[in-house]
Structures are given as C-alpha cells and as structure tokens.
Amino acid sequence: MLIVANWKAYVEDVSKAKKLLALSKRLVRSSSCTIVLAPPAPFLGALALTNKSSVAFAAQDVSATLGGATTGEATAPMYAAAGATYAIIGHSERRAAGDTDALITQKLLRTLAHGLTPILCIGEHERDTEGKYLNTVREEITIALSVLSPKERMKVIVAYEPLWAIGKTASEAIDQRDLGEMVLYIRKVLAELLPGKSSSHSLVLYGGSVEPGNIRALAGGSGVDGFLIGHASVDTHLFSSLVGELT
Ligand code: PGA
C-alpha cells in the first residue's frame, strides 16, 4: 500500500517535522507500506537531503512557471533537487485557492518533465442522486490527462478525494462499497485514456478522513492502492496506528 502523508500547513516547526520523519522511518521498516511524506516546502529539503531511509518525499504543489523572475514560486526542478520524487497536483485546497484546469495541466507537465511522479487529486464537491459526481470525476481526469503523451499518462497516480469527505472524521468518510465502485469507475476512465492494457498498472489512491478506525475496512476489497492522509498524518499516535492497521 502507498501511504502519502499530506502535512498541509499543519506542521510549522522543525522539531515536529523531524519527529514525524523519525516515526515514518520506523514504520517503513516494520510494515510493508511505502511511505511518502509531503511536508511544507521549507521543510522538504531539510528533511529529504539528509534522508537515507526508504521514506520518499512529495511536493504539496509545484509552480506552473518555468522559474526565473517569479518571486515566491517553488518549481518542479527545485523540488527534484531538494529530494522529492513525487508531487501532489490539483489538491482541492489548491483548486479552491485558484488552480484552474489549465494551471493543473501546466503543473502536471512541469512535474513530469523533471522526473517527479504526479499524484493528481480529483473528486466531487458533493454526491447527488443522479450520478453527476461521476461526470465530475471523469471530466477532471480527462482534462488533466489529455495534454499528456501516452507514456506520461501511464506515470500519473490518481488520488480520489471527494471534497465532502475531507477534514472530517472516519465515520463521515466514504464507505468501502462506495469506494470500491469509484475505484472501478476511475480504472474504467483510465482504461479509455491509456494505451493498451497499461491502465491496469495505474495506481488509484483515496483521501478524505482516513483514520485508524476506517483504513483497514477501506483497504480491504475496495481495490484501492493506497491513501492520501491529511490530519491523521501529523499526529504521531494516529499515524502509527493507521499504518499499523495495514500490517
Ligand atoms: P484529511 O485530508 O485526511 O484531513 O481529510 C486529506 C487531504 O486533503 O489530502
């Protein structure tokens, strides 16, 4: 299972960041999970450049610019140089802050051009009874992937993160049946966009209130390849119990 710990802006001091990295190093040794940490940008280099473990690092976002005279931007080559190997693209909190589909496709291209694996976040605002949410998911994937070459499309990890489930508690997250249906649907959309049978190798993650209380049920039988974890990834107790549930 792939566990992506999205620290968002929850971690604001270096001692907490170091503590969470040390915990992840222990967890990666004692479990069969791959752990990817997505710290805030100023901490990523400090943690990743001295990291000798198999814990991997992700940017929480990358700049759509090519660098140069763009004050405040953190570009894909900077993240790659700092030790990141993944990048979260199109997180709903970035979309809410102004990331359009056009910006997201630019960011995907920059990410891939510098050897980072993109984790593309998609998901509906709410679930309606007519199944419109399925169209939202299809559209978000299709628009993002359509600018990529077949080879690039194969590298994208899709993280299904319905907005209604983010930042709540385990009881308000999706259930295993609905997640299983959505994972199948996403795989069907990917199969239409990727060459041959290559979509069977694409990874599909789920994010939205994953906690120790629901991770095992969500993992079992839903067909999901891993999780994008927000608030529970910055609490040492919750994060270690959550990974423990999968081992
Ligand atoms: P959450 O966040 O686990 O706090 O719901 C997930 C995410 O936004 O990636």
Residue-range definition of the domain harbouring residue 78: 2-245
C-alpha–C-alpha distance, residues 147 and 9, integer Å: 30
DSSP label at 221? T
Atom of ligand 1 nearest to the CA of 165: 5
Q: Give 3-state DSSP helix, strand, coil % of the chain, rounded to 5.
A: 45, 15, 40
Nearest CA residue ID for atom 3, ligand 1: 230
Buried-exposed string 116-153: b where 16+ CB fall within 10 A, e elsewhere: bbbbbbbbbeeeeeeeebbebbbebbeebbeebeeebb
125 catalytic per annotation? no
pLDDT in tens, 92-110: 999 999 999 999 999 999 9
Catalytic residue among 91, 93, 140, 211: 91
Q: How many domains does the chain have?
A: 1
What is the CA(208)–ligand 1 centre distance, in A?
Answer: 5
Question: What is the pLDDT of the chain when averaged over all its residues?
Answer: 96
Among 80, 69, 139, 67, residue whose Cα is nearest residue 106? 67
pLDDT in tens, 170-211: 999 999 999 999 999 999 999 999 998 888 899 999 999 999
Verify whether ligand 1 is closer than 6 Å to residue 108 (CB atom): no
Pocket test for ligand 1, best of 2, 7, 8 (most atoms within 8 A of CB): 8
Q: What is the CATH number of the domain that holds 19?
A: 3.20.20.70
Tokens 């990743």 found at:
48
Q: Where are the alpha helices (DSSP H) in the chain?
A: 14-30, 41-48, 76-81, 92-96, 101-113, 132-146, 150-153, 176-193, 215-219, 236-245
What the block records as the tokens of 44 is 């990523």
Verify whether ligand 1 is closer than 6 Å to residue 6 (CB atom): yes
Verify whether ligand 1 is closer than 6 Å to residue 162 (CB atom): no
C-alpha–C-alpha distance, residues 40 and 45, integer Å: 10
**Which residues are CB-neighbours of 63 under 8 A, at least 6 positions away?**
70, 73, 74, 75, 76, 107, 110
pLDDT confidence bin for 155, thresholds 50/70/90: very high
Atom of ligand 1 nearest to the CA of 232: 3
What is the CA(165)–ligand 1 centre distance, in A?
Answer: 8
**SS3 state at 109:** helix
What is the CA(161)–ligand 1 centre distance, in A?
Answer: 8
DSSP label at 170? G
pLDDT for residue 221 is more than 90: no
140 catalytic per annotation? no
What is the CA(125)–ligand 1 centre distance, in A?
Answer: 14
pLDDT in tens, 74-90: 999 999 999 999 999 99
